[in-house]
Chain A
Amino acid sequence: MSAIVESPQVQVRRNRMGMWLFFVSEAFLFGGLLIARFFLWGDTRPDLPQVVPLGITAVLLTSSFFMNRAEVAIANDDRKTFQRGLLITAFLGFIFFLGVLIFEWGWTIEDGAFVLGNHIHPTSGVYGAVLYGMTGMHALHVLSGIVIIMIIWNLGRKGKFSAEDHWGVEATAIYWHYIDLIWIFFYPALYLIGTAVPAGGH
């Protein structure tokens, strides 16, 4: 029996379309979270320190640049830049992830037990709920992105990709940029838009 073999380029076109449909689908997930934010917070936001979010935003943006550089590199047969770009991206992504978990959420050890949140708690009404919900859902995607980048880095080390055949890299790259894209929407929605409400009464 002979199977009809599709050429790799036809398959890549389908993969690309599938990937974008996945993004459209995810957009509704994150859009739902944004709707929750505007429904529950309205024209206000919690008055939070601005340094950490601004810093991790810069880190994520820079990681996106290096991801793009890695993808351009493999498309132009520059393996060294490709491998290095992936590593830097994963590293910066990990910094972002830690930035959310440790500095923004504030996981600390007190008396041998993990304690969460030094300024806002997940149980601090809707402010805590939406903040932790949105950053948590995003951080989950960041974590998955880091894992995928490391897998791709490992495969690249084994020489799996070439200028003509690097769909795996392209998919990882656009997924990582998509995570950045989400943060472009989330960061202003959480930290910039609306009048700041101080944590009164605590």
Chain B
Amino acid sequence: METPFLVFILMPLVIGGALLVGLFLLARIMPGTGKASKADAAAVQPVPSRGPEYVKLRARRAAAYRLGLVVFGGLVVLSVVEFFLASVGSTALMFIMIVFKAALVMYFFMHVASVWRTEEAH
């Protein structure tokens, strides 16, 4: 029982530590408040309800919904695989599956990259 215990003692340390180091690095590239305010001038645009702009909006929407569906499908597949892999009895294998799923959720659903982005990408 010692090996998984040590793994899981290290796991929060590694994940949390990586996030903290990331934040620290972020501090190096992030400008002070004075510079950032330049990006704030982005004017609020009215929502188009017809015309070519509207077509673009519809296309963007559809693409975004499709991405969500694809990620969801991936998660379902991974979960099913995980459930049946459990009978193999390998903790390391399960751990890899968990990390895969967690990475998918964090990247696509939680938009972890947006923490590092300094300007809104609208």
- Chain B positions within 8 Å of A6 at CB level: 33
Given A9-B120, A10-B36, A184 and B19 contact (CB-CB distance below 8 Å): no
- Chain B positions within 8 Å of A67 at CB level: 109
What are the interface flags for A42-59 relative to B under an 8 Å C-beta threshold, 1 for contact and 0 otherwise?
A: 110000000000100110
Q: Which of A17, A65, A78, A170 contacts B72 (CB 8 A)?
A: A65
Given A31-B12, A65-B72, A163-B47, A188 and B5 contact (CB-CB distance below 8 Å): no
Residues of B in contact (CB 8 Å), total 56
Report whether B1 and A38 are in contact in the complex, using a CB–CB cutoff of 8 Å. yes
Report whether A10 and B19 are in contact in the complex, using a CB–CB cutoff of 8 Å. no
Size band of the A side of the interface? 35 or more
CB distance from A160 to the nearest CB of B (A): 15
Report whether B76 and A38 are in contact in the complex, using a CB–CB cutoff of 8 Å. no
Q: Which of A35, A39, A62, A180 contacts B105 (CB 8 A)?
A: A180
Given A28-B16, A64-B109, A9 and B39 contact (CB-CB distance below 8 Å): yes
Identify whether the interface residues of A are mostly helix, strand, loop, or mixed: helix
- How many angstroms between the C-alpha atoms of A76 and B122 in the bound complex? 10
Interface membership of A199, Cβ < 8 A: no
What are the interface flags for A1-42 relative to B under an 8 Å C-beta threshold, 1 for contact and 0 otherwise?
A: 000001111101100110011001001100110110011001
CB distance from A55 to the nearest CB of B (A): 12
Report whether B61 and A78 are in contact in the complex, using a CB–CB cutoff of 8 Å. yes
What are the interface flags for B79-122 relative to A under an 8 Å C-beta threshold, 1 for contact and 0 otherwise?
A: 10011001001010010011001100110111110110011101
